[in-house]
Amino acid sequence: METAYFNGNFLPKDEIKISPDDRGFLFADGIYEVVRWYEGFFYDMNSHITRLKRSLRELRINWPDADSFPTFANDLLKLNKLENRPAMVYLQVTRGAARRSHSFPPPEVRPTSYAYAWAFIPDIQLKETGIKVMLKEDIRWSRCDIKSVALLPNTLSFQEACENGLKECIFVRNGLITEGSHSNIFFVIDGTLFTHPESNHVLSGITRKNILRIAQESGIRIREEAVQENRIRFVREAFITNTSAEVTPVTELGGNTIGEGVPGPVTRLIRDKFESEIKAFKG
Ligand code: PDD
């Protein structure tokens, strides 16, 4: 029986009851986080908590329990016997349940919080071979910096990628490549590493931040600058990053082969350094 966290309690998952008036259900009025458990530690939990608090602040959801995320996430792993396995924990917080109205409910309405953990089997193969991804106009809103559960443009776009046998959908806004449906994207042009700067058009990925640090420590030239779609032909390497895919090379983008069609040297260096760091943390 799977045990989940719900409003401060641990319950069998199928006994959890969420009101049909929950604003998460009615308005997608909520935020989420996904953290990765590497059999002994959560990867950069502090940054996830900082981003969680920022998302809550931006939506003006007053949830006082953000700092207890590591504690209840750990409890979830124990209760589900996942401590010694690679796992993920998902947390969602909504503005709570109240009669439907576009204005916020009164302050006594408490946010709804829900979290669960699951065993995660990473796809090692894709990190070796790389993936093919599609390109599509960015149909999302202008606050992609908030990790909101309103993900319909992301899910529709990712589904389109899946139906075309592709592994991610990368968005283009006003001719500039922003990010993927659930990942950030990096490019190597003339030996320089490019990624979209932090802005309201991308999520500030925790993996993105750590990859920039690793690249800097490795002496790689970095430019946090968006790449224009019409410069794809100059891209020698590309890779996506997120909590689950870590560093995954991209070998084809919108029908264009990237470089030699295999993961390039900068991508491999960064991927290997990221993996070595994880191994070192494991001790
Ligand atoms: N998604 N950009 C978007 C739009 C994302 O949804 C994600 C993560 C990222 C990468 O962020 P991070 O490195 O912190 O995982 C970038 C998660 C994994 C998801 O929705 O499941």
Domains of the chain: which residue ranges? Answer: 3-119, 124-282
Between the alpha carbon of residue 30 and those of residues 52, 148, 264, the distances in Å are 11, 6, 39
Residues above pLDDT 90, as percent of the chain: 98
The domain 124-282 belongs to what CATH superfamily?
D-amino Acid Aminotransferase, subunit A, domain 2 (3.20.10.10)
Alpha carbon nearest to ligand 1 atom 9, residue: 183
Among 203, 206, 212, 213, residue to substitute to test ligand 1 (most atoms within 8 Å of Cβ) = 203
C-beta separation of 227 from 199 below 8 A: no
CATH of 3-119, one of 3.40.50.10210, 3.90.550.60, 3.30.470.10, 3.30.200.20: 3.30.470.10
Tell me how crowded residue 93 is: count the other CB atoms within 10 A of its CB: 25
Atom nearest to 147 CA in ligand 1: 6
Residues 165-210 have pLDDT tens digits of: 999 999 999 999 999 999 999 999 999 999 999 999 999 999 999 9
Q: What is the pTM of this model?
A: 0.97
Measured CA angle at 93 (ends 137, 30), to 5 deg: 35
Supply the pLDDT for residue 268. 98
Q: Are 38 and 278 in contact (CB under 8 A)?
A: yes
Biggest distance spanned by C-alpha atoms of the chain: 59
Q: Which residues are catalytic?
A: 147
Our mutation pick for probing the ligand 1 site, out of 52, 243, 248, 274, counting the most ligand atoms within 8 A of Cβ, is: 243
